[in-house]
Each structure stands twice: as structure tokens, then as C-alpha cells.
Amino acid sequence: MRTERLFHLLQILRGYSCPVKGQVLADRLNISIRTLYRDIATLQAQGADIQGEPGLGYILKPGFFLPPLMLSRDEVEAMMLGIRWVSNYGDSPLAKAAGEALAKISAVLPKETLLSASELPLRVGPPASEEFSSEDLSILRQAIRQERKIEIEYQTGDEEKIQHTIWPFAIGYFTDCRILVGWCENSESYRYFQTNKLLSIHILPVAYSGRYSQLFRKWKLQQTST
């Protein structure tokens, strides 16, 4: 099947760190060079960052491209339910991204699978308030990706406003709230902050020590040991 061949071509390209000649790829796939050129053009049109040209070779740049997948009914239902959950409980940009991802996935799903997915009986309840669905946490996700310190002003339960310098590394999305998790320089400990009580957020021009994944692992280890 052509879908399997395209997937195999991607797997082969992932194994090379430098450009590989088209004829080498064609020989490994047991296809003609003309067919290889068509397959590469197809993958590029679907979003794969394959760079190169005939005679010079091809290389697959790192990215988030997913090749066409063969999914079971349970896998489709799990994926659709997850996207519906993010559409309702992710902050505004994530909810929009979920809809865009669904459109891209729907474009490559077989027709019969797409029909069953649209009729999925598994549903997600609506968020509690419009304020919840309009929240935008893009700045927090940006700080985590860049592993930058942030300065926040936070409103406590007794209406007191406190400033903290945080090393953010995770955001928890729940049905009734969202929680920022980070290392707090002020208290020298891991702290939790409800995002709807963040009065201001400023990304500082300095990176924190280590990777956010390392902070997450240390925090998780602390949770399991207490």
C-alpha cells in the first residue's frame, strides 16, 4: 500500500542525519526514482519538512509532522475525546489549536472512520463559566518552553497581593481550575498558583537552572516520597 510506503520512507529518512541520494531511497523502497519523487512531493504537501532536490539528496528536518496512521476504533475514540476535552477545558489558544488539529487529522482519516468518529457517543461537559474558557495562558507556556524565570503578582485568599519569582515547569488543566506549578525563589520550595489569581506575569530575561523536564521529575519524585 502507498500509505505504508510513505510511512516507511519517513522512517528511512529519520535514520539519516545528512542528505541521502534519491536513488538510495528508491533502492531501499524497491521503487523507481520517479515514484520516489512523487512520494516526497506528497509528504511535503502533507507537512513533512523534507529538504533537498534531485541530484543533491534529501533530509528530513526535525518537527512535529505525523505521517498517515492506521488507528483502531478505540484509538480514534480516545483521540477525539481528548481533543473535545481540550476544546472545552484548555485555555483559549489551546482550544483553538485543538480545533485546527482536529481538522488536519480529519483530512487524513478514512471516510468510514471519520463518520464513526463524528458520531462518537463520548462527550465532555461544558466549562463552568465563560471567563474560564476565555483565559489565555500562552505567556506561561512560552516561559516554560524557553525555561525562563517569571515574575508574578498573585492574589491570595485573603485578598493580599504578593510578588513571586518563579521557575515555571508545568500547568495543570482541571475541569474547575488551572494550576501553575513552579519552583519559587522566595520560599525556596515548589509552589502552586491558581492561574485565575495571577494579576500580572512578566517573563524575565534570564533562564533558570536546569531543564523544565528535570524540575518536573524532581517535583514528581517529591510528591511520591511524601
In a domain, 77, yes or no: yes
- The reply to whether 119 and 182 lie within a common domain is no
Least confidently predicted of 60-64, 65-69, 79-83, 151-155: 65-69
Please report the pLDDT score of residue 75 as a whole number: 78
- Report residue 113's pLDDT band, with 50, 70 and 90 as the boundaries: low
Give the structural domain span for 207. Answer: 137-225
In a domain, 166, yes or no: yes
In a domain, 194, yes or no: yes
Q: Which residue has the higher pLDDT, 140 or 72?
A: 140
Q: Which residue has the higher pLDDT, 181 or 106?
A: 181
Please report the pLDDT score of residue 146 as a whole number: 93
**Predicted confidence (pLDDT) per residue in 170-179, tens digit:** 999 988 889 9
pLDDT reading at 118 higher than 70: no
Last residue within a domain, chosen from 14, 33, 60: 60
In a domain, 65, yes or no: no
In this structure, what are the phi and psi dihedrals at residue 153, rounded to the nearest 5 degrees?
A: -110, 125
pTM: 0.66
In a domain, 175, yes or no: yes
Last residue within a domain, chosen from 112, 132, 152: 132
Please report the pLDDT score of residue 182 as a whole number: 95
Q: How many domains does the chain have?
A: 3
Please report the pLDDT score of residue 223 as a whole number: 82
Q: For position 164, which CATH number holds?
A: 2.30.30
Half-sphere exposure (CA, 13 Å, Cβ side) for 73?
7
Least confidently predicted of 43-47, 73-77, 106-110: 106-110
Q: For position 9, which CATH number holds?
A: 1.10.10.10
Please report the pLDDT score of residue 153 as a whole number: 95
Please report the pLDDT score of residue 127 as a whole number: 72
CA distance 76 to 86: 15
Please report the pLDDT score of residue 5 as a whole number: 83
